[in-house]
Structure 1
Amino acid sequence: MAREDTMDRTKISYQSGDATTPSIGGSAIIAHLCNDLGRWGKGFVVAVSARWPEPERAYRDWYRQRESNDFALGAVQFVRVSADFHVANMIGQHGIRSSAGGPPIRYEAVDQALERLAEFAAASNASVHMPRIGCGLAGGTWDRIEPLIHARLSSRGVSVLVYDLD
């Protein structure tokens, strides 16, 4: 499918469907949040792993070697899964369970990761596709996440499509 020239690149677009199967052509980045514990296996990552084995393998290696790399809140790992697609493993949650300190989401880390995502997307001339990141297992709210996506990505002309699974 060809890239839609009529898409307003300064707005976040929403549609029903699976974020692992982008609805527009060209270079695309599938973005999602990960935890800082090296755990992978629930939520959106199940769909990512069902489609591509590389993102999970890369994330687990990144975590295992964290003493000698940038694995931390706010970091992003870009994993090429095909000629036109990357998966962005963004570290945006501390732990996996809510505690007295609140849910695992860390909005500042999400903001930092989105900044890195914006730089990579712009340099790659890629659109960004994602579920409502941070609003599932991470315990975040879309009214806090959406403005971050707008500020870091769509306001800079990066096409962003958010998918709501049917």
Structure 2
Amino acid sequence: MAEIRYVRGDATVPSVKGVKIIAHVCNDIGGWGKGFVLALSRRWPQPEAAYRAWHRDRAANDFGLGAVQLVQAERYVWVANMIGQRGVRTGSKGVPVRYEAIDTALDRLAGHALELGASVHMPRIGCGLAGGTWSRVEPLVEERLVRRGIPVTVYGHG
């Protein structure tokens, strides 16, 4: 059975051949400006522009927890903007991460990855500013992507 591949490095620079989807978690209030999205925006303008338009026009689209927006950044590189956190601040309702929304988004992402014949690349989604723990997210990635035969690489600094 396939496993998640862990590597050191930058998830915005996947070093494999073929079609690649870079997956990351976004908030549900239209905020783009901290964390991994900064690395994405330094490389490509499209993911941020598409996310902002998706949020702006949310009355007429599927923007919301669990939704996925696939944005083509290069010929063989797509970015998956996945809505997996409620707001941006830790407060009385706990941390912003919403594991059920990440699960739904990963399930939707799997369909796109299979359709494109793509591998999936990500930081430890939902575990930075969203405040989640990898021990809760990793099984979702394994269940929704790896078990369906989708190659997954997780990037980290350590």
Q: Aligning the two structures, in what range does the TM-score lie when normalised by the shorter sequence?
A: over 0.9
Aligned match of 1:82: 74
Structure 1 residue 99: deviation in Å? Answer: 1.1
Structure 1 residue 165: deviation in Å? Answer: 2.8
Selected match of 2:87 from 86, 95, 106: 95
RMSD: 0.8
Selected match of 1:67 from 59, 63, 74: 59
CA deviations over 1:30-74 (Å, ceiling 9, x no partner): 000000000000000000000000000000000000000000000
CA deviations over 1:3-47 (Å, ceiling 9, x no partner): xxxxx7x21000000000001110000000000000000000000
> How many residues were matched structurally?
158
Q: How does 1:110-129 map to 2 (within 5 A)?
A: 110-129=102-121
Runs (5+) with no aligned partner, structure 1: 1-7
Quote the Cα distance in structure 1 between the aligned partners of 2:131 and 2:74: 31
Identity %: 60
Q: How does 1:14-163 map to 2 (within 5 A)?
A: 14-163=6-155
- Counterpart amino acid of 1:111? D
Quote the Cα distance in structure 2 between the aligned partners of 1:118 and 1:99: 32
Quote the Cα distance in structure 2 between the aligned partners of 1:28 and 1:45: 17
Structure 1 residue 129: deviation in Å? Answer: 0.3
| TM-score where L is the length of structure 1 | 0.94
Segments ≥4 residues shifted beyond 4 Å:
none
| TM-score where L is the length of structure 2 | 0.98
